[in-house]
Amino acid sequence: METILAAHRAYLLGWDTAGESKPDLLIYRSGVPHLPLNGVLRAVGQDPAEALAEARERLAGVPWVWWLGPDSDVQDGLLALGATRIGTLPIMAVDIDRAAAVETPAGLTIDKAEDLEAFVRAYAAP
């Protein structure tokens, strides 16, 4: 589980343009106005009110989300402060040596996205 959560954090921290996160309060900000691309990934050993104040300050001006997984310990404190749970996501994984091999569909091209705004527009709706 820790490896999966670490991979999730690493991916989203890749969007962070400021690089100011602390290990016990991981905040990332892409600046792109799309909810999952700005937020808090983990808070451990933090006063929930102080962590929330810092998140609000650093994420002002963009939509953002607070991910609460088994690697955070502030959920009850945030709920007491008025936070609203907007949903839950399952953690899914498969050992790559057990995944079925599939052929690439004819005509499919995979390329690196160079235009950030076009990339976000392409995947945001789904």
More confident residue, 29 or 93: 29
Say if residue 30's pLDDT is above 70.
Answer: yes
Q: Taking Cα atoms as reference points, which of 66, 60, 62 lies closest to residue 82?
A: 66
Boundaries of domain holding 119: 2-124
pLDDT at 125: 65
The pLDDT of 29-51, averaged and rounded, is: 93
pLDDT at 43: 93
Number of domains present in the structure of the chain: 1
Q: Point out the least confidently predicted range of 12-21, 34-43, 57-66, 73-82.
A: 12-21
The pLDDT of 69-95, averaged and rounded, is: 88
Tell me: the pLDDT tens digits for 4-29?
A: 888 888 888 888 888 777 889 999 99
Tell me: the pLDDT tens digits for 70-80?
A: 888 999 999 99
- SS3 sequence, the chain? CHHHHHHHHHHHHCCCCCCCCECCEEEEECCCCCHHHEEEEEECCCCHHHHHHHHHHHCCCCCCEECCCCCCCCHHHHHHCCCCCCCCCCCCCCCCCCCCCCCCCCCCCCCCCCCHHHHHHHHHCC
